[in-house]
Amino acid sequence: MNSSTINPTNESSILALVRSVMPQRALTFYEALRIAELQANRLLEISGINGSAVPSKIVSELPRIQVDYRDLPTSGLTFWSGDAWVICLNRSEPATRQRFTLFHEFKHIVDHGRTLQLYTGDHLHTADEQAERAADYFAGCALMPKRLVKRAWGELLQHPGVLALAFGVSASAAEVRLNQLGLTEPRLRCTPGTTRSAHPDGDPYRRGVPITPPATPNPQEVAT
């Protein structure tokens, strides 16, 4: 639908339009992530967003969404109060993280009533973990849209910190998005083939265990 035909103050239509991207069938997790990106794009399209630093108000000012800042043990939570969705954000966290959490929580609202179709769990993640990952992915797609990030990258804003400032997100969120878009490679946890100095906690590599090659050669390497 052309955004010019949509009344931007009709919040129920906006939520319904974002939800309408999802097909009425069970989805694989890969498909659920793809739907999350399409929903983020739909939200931006409806809101008429064409530039970076996507304003938080496209979610926070929807009439039946209320945003509260509270002391929380987590970054955020969402509940239905009876006449509105209440998104609670951790008041002590940086504004960039609160923005990301706002969009993450909005995805939970979008998914409400559909989670059994969207997230079924697999050998890697439980259904709840998938829902969390999809909410993070939605927030990344909404705050750092593929087209805009690639345009910024083409304008030589090729550092996570610089992109973070341009898009109003944390540097770590920008780094994750760049990895998702294939513009950078994921940073390795350690350098293969080296011995790390002792570390008080963490995984064995960080505790100084040397990485040795496998004792048995790969069968394909000796099958000639």
Q: Tell me the one-letter amino acid at 42.
A: R
Between 42 and 104, CB nearer to Zn ion: 104
Could you tell me which stretch among 37-45, 109-117, 127-135, 210-218 binds Zn ion (CB under 5 A)?
A: 127-135
Could you tell me which stretch among 15-23, 134-142, 151-159, 196-204 binds Zn ion (CB under 5 A)?
A: 134-142
Rounded distance between C-alpha atoms, residue 10 and residue 30, angstroms: 31
42 touches 60 (CB < 8 A) = no
Build a one-symbol-per-residue string for 135-154: x at contacts with Zn ion by CB under 5 A, - elsewhere: x-------------------
The CB-of-88 to Zn ion minimum distance in angstroms stands at 12
Q: Residue 75: which of 58, 61, 51, 91 has the closest Cα? A: 91
Rounded distance between C-alpha atoms, residue 46 and residue 6, angstroms: 7
The CB-of-128 to Zn ion minimum distance in angstroms stands at 9
Between 31 and 132, CB nearer to Zn ion: 132
The CB-of-157 to Zn ion minimum distance in angstroms stands at 29
The CB-of-210 to Zn ion minimum distance in angstroms stands at 39
Between 135 and 174, CB nearer to Zn ion: 135
Rounded distance between C-alpha atoms, residue 1 and residue 10, angstroms: 15
85 touches 66 (CB < 8 A) = yes
The CB-of-181 to Zn ion minimum distance in angstroms stands at 22
The whole-angstrom distance between residue 28's C-alpha and the CA centroid of its chain comes to 17
* Strand arrangement, sheet containing 65-70: 65-70, 85-90, 76-80
Cα-Cα end-to-end distance for the chain = 59
Between 110 and 135, CB nearer to Zn ion: 135
Between 100 and 167, CB nearer to Zn ion: 100
Binding site residues, Zn ion, CB under 5 A: 132, 135
